[in-house]
A and B are shown apart, each in its own frame.
Chain A
């Protein structure tokens, strides 16, 4: 199963790159080709403006990958930094960050992202910001808990007794140890970001037409479900495959990095 997941992710990456470098024209309108069924001329058919669904699928792959990577990167950077600060320093910074985390967790994540996107306005950059604002909390909570436990461990106490500074302890003795769970969290975060971007674009708050995104393609295709189901099936299948594959990879990664589960196996 994991091999299949790796293949799907590889195809996603290749599609994303192809969407950028291949001579495609996903936004070119061709009125005579409106709602054409899949054929040799149009591999996945055309949409309601005669644009090739295949080209738009590749362009959408690039968008989803970009949003996923940047969102997770931004969320993880902010979350890990705040988690380390809260867990290691403790005291009032921990209390403040802890309360902020609780406030964010009190809101349904997607609802918060919708509100943020509505306030910031639609667009690729604003989608990334909205999702990152929602996404850092998980990393911060995870890292804080890990650091609270690790900072009392023998190797940290030994490093402190040997006179190493706080920055060095965090960088050399804590960060490498918290990165494993962060990596697992990030893999799930990628799947969540892909779904969230598609959701926001479906609601009209994400990538704006004529740019292609999988959520936007599904949104446009829903109106033609009776007459041209390929408009929904193609991006829907792509979205489903990528999310399942990334989640499977995340599961696999967790199993590999989890020392406890490996020793009991």
Chain B
């Protein structure tokens, strides 16, 4: 009788934990903040929205546009036509997306009332017209041969797109349908092809994420794990580790408006003092690659033969001496970073490596909001950040054009180069092949001017437990969730 009671109690407790054993649980460091592709700007939201909403165009591994919902043709320098493909997926309500949905989505992005962060990149759209139910014409106010790269916003049903506030219950035509969302960062989706349930659960602490994976409470984890934890998981037979080179570009930024850092000599001294190889080998466990530019060499506009600023303490000391700094007059710099543990570790390594050549680095770490606010406002000397999921060459205008100082763009270092401005502007008027030549030249100039010390591309690492078929996307996207299966056959 007692055994029966205990068994019954255990069964009740097991049923009460609320877990569906058939659901795939994806543990993430931060939950998406917004489920509306028009308003998403953080990486987590972008990645989840890509599961919920199909787009006219997606970018492939080389950053080149590929048709998803629509095939485009250029009718004139300022006129593009997009034909919706017949095999496009239906919205969650069963209706097939049509030209009116596309028009409504893009018009809402351009509507200042929505305050979409994507509006700036599409501001040159003059008109969007539905020619017929499956054809949309875009007219532009200036030549833009790279316009298809900008057609990557998820398409909403017209009724939802007309809302001027964020969509709460997304009904896109993506591979997954929205089920429910709870306040504790838990999001439930259903795969439309086979009804597979997917739970995206926020577990902020990496140790907890790892433990959940090992205990079977989570099936998947991707990135945001300390390198030591990745090495620990690599030795566990119960989980499978997949690594893929990533596009996340980490850099050390300078404030060019600072009287000391405005001197290239000083910036070069900093660059030559940093031993990237050692950091990649020991801190990242080799799961990163040295970077020289924001676009990977494999990108269609990437540069493969950039001469790196190598680790050379002697050159660094010589440059400092030439700039008037030495033991009697040491160079003191302040480095701002977030409170993220890995970023702080890297900061301390920088501090020591710079100290070895005679630069005193003071580390100032702040919560994300304060830190990012200071960087945007130009209140810094040195800082470190990373560009996540960068695929479009628009990044060169956004980050380095002199007109892109915050809030207009992300030229946070107050960099000004007539040459780079001209190259970026001219590239925007050319077809991809010719534009790539100018964009490469612009990247070489930026590299030579040492606007950033380029650091590394962080690899994407996925760890899967009781599931198969998952591999991280090249830019950290979650699109492989379309194919992932529970190991027991579900």
Contact = CB atoms under 8 A, between A and B. Distances in A.
Nearest to B352: A29
A106 interface: no
A32 B282 contact: yes
A226 B352 contact: no
A224 B349 contact: no
Interface string B14-28: 000000000000000
B210 interface: yes
Interface stretch (B128-136, B152-160, B186-194, B225-233): B225-233
B348 A226 contact: no
Interface string B202-227: 00001100110000000000000010
A157 interface: no
Contacts, number: 46
A48 B229 CA distance: 12
Nearest to B281: A31
A2 interface: no
B279 interface: yes
Contact of B283 (A31, A204, A223, A225): A31
Contact of A31 (B339, B344, B349, B363): B349
Given A34-B282, A34-B283, A227 B232 contact: yes
Interface in A17-31: 28-29, 31
Contact of A48 (B228, B232, B278, B281): B228
Contact of B226 (A28, A209, A224): A224
Contacts of A50: 282
A211 to B, nearest CB: 12
A148 B210 CA distance: 60
A204 B232 CA distance: 27
A31 B279 contact: yes
A194 interface: no
Contacts of A226: 207, 210-211, 229, 232
Nearest to B339: A204
Interface in B223-266: 226, 228-229, 231-232
A225 B208 CA distance: 11
A227 B281 CA distance: 18
Nearest to B214: A226
A223 B341 contact: yes
A117 to B, nearest CB: 16
A159 interface: no
A210 interface: yes
Contacts of A224: 226, 228
A31 B363 CA distance: 19
Given A29-B349, A29-B352, A31-B349, A227 B228 contact: yes
A35 interface: yes
Interface string B142-185: 00000000000000000000000000000000000000000000
Contacts of A31: 278-279, 281-283, 349
Interface residues of A, number: 20
B348 A209 contact: yes
A28 to B, nearest CB: 8
Contacts of B229: 226-227
Given A31-B279, A32-B282, A223 B206 contact: yes
The interface size bin for chain B is: 20 to 34
A110 interface: no
A228 interface: yes
B345 interface: yes
A225 B206 CA distance: 11
A45 to B, nearest CB: 13
Contacts of B345: 48-49
A204 B226 CA distance: 20
Nearest to A33: B282
Given A31-B283, A223-B207, A223-B226, A49 B232 contact: no
Contacts of B282: 31-32, 34, 50
A228 B349 contact: no
Interface string B339-361: 10100110011011000000000
B383 to A, nearest CB: 18
B348 A228 contact: no
A224 B229 CA distance: 8
B354 to A, nearest CB: 12
A48 B283 CA distance: 9
Contacts of A228: 228
A22 B34 CA distance: 55
A137 B282 CA distance: 49
- Most A-side CB within 10 Å, residue of B228, B231, B232, B283: B228
A119 B282 CA distance: 37
A121 B210 CA distance: 34
Interface in A163-206: 204
Nearest to A28: B352
Contacts of B363: 209
A28 B469 CA distance: 44
A200 B226 CA distance: 24
A29 B348 contact: yes
7 contacts: A32-B282, A48-B228, A204-B339, A209-B363, A210-B348, A223-B206, A226-B210
* Shortest beta-carbon contacts, A-B, top 5: A31-B282, A29-B352, A227-B232, A227-B228, A31-B278
Interface of A: 28-29, 31-32, 34-35, 48-50, 204, 209-210, 220, 222-228
Given A34-B282, A50-B282, 12 more contacts: A31-B282, A31-B349, A34-B228, A49-B348, A209-B363, A210-B348, A222-B207, A223-B206, A223-B226, A223-B341, A225-B207, A226-B207
